[in-house]
Amino acid sequence: MAIDIGTCIAQDFAAHVGSAFHFQHSSGSGIDFHLLSIKDTPEFKPNTLWAKRPPFSLFFAAPKGLEVGQGNFTLQHPVLGPMMVFMVPIGRVGGNNFDPNQPLLMQCSFN
């Protein structure tokens, strides 16, 4: 099954919390981002003329030691299939944002 990024909802990802989403880096090396949690974001009020779903965010842990900036990532999941998403580093897992030994916390928002 390939997920439709344009119409997917938070519940489509719920069964996959804890699983790996694989990213093939341009260098040829593979990186796994682990889905930590899903958060509904009702405070974001999308335009009801074009909104196709309630807004939500996915939170991923990057591998320890990986430092990446925001950008488009094509992630591959064994059940959900490939998806291109925009991810932003928002801190570190565990909340200690100054500890480079903690993995980056990446957010991907859908609205």
pTM score of the predicted model: 0.87
Q: Which amino acid is at 64?
A: K
Tell me, rounded to whole angstroms, the distance of Cα 82 from its chain centroid: 13
Is residue 100, in this structure, part of any structural domain at all? Answer: yes
Tell me the pLDDT band of 27, cut-offs 50, 70 and 90: low
Total domain count for the chain?
1
Structural domain range at position 18: 11-110
Q: What is the 3-state secondary structure (H, E, C) of 14-76?
A: HCCCCCEEEEECCCCCEEEEEEEEEEECCCCCCCCCCCCCCCEEEEEECCCCCCCCCEEEEEE
pLDDT of residue 25: 66
The whole-number average pLDDT for the span 47-57 is 72
Is residue 66, in this structure, part of any structural domain at all? Answer: yes
Is residue 15, in this structure, part of any structural domain at all? Answer: yes
Is residue 22, in this structure, part of any structural domain at all? Answer: yes
pLDDT of residue 34: 96
Is residue 61, in this structure, part of any structural domain at all? Answer: yes
Is residue 65, in this structure, part of any structural domain at all? Answer: yes
The radius of gyration of the chain's CA atoms, rounded to the nearest angstrom, is 14
Is residue 85, in this structure, part of any structural domain at all? Answer: yes
Closest CA to 88 of 65, 64, 69, 103: 69
pLDDT of residue 50: 58
Tell me, rounded to whole angstroms, the distance of Cα 50 from its chain centroid: 22
Tell me the pLDDT band of 108, cut-offs 50, 70 and 90: very high
pLDDT tens digits, 56-88: 999 999 988 888 889 888 899 999 999 989 999
Is residue 5, in this structure, part of any structural domain at all? Answer: no
The whole-number average pLDDT for the span 38-55 is 71
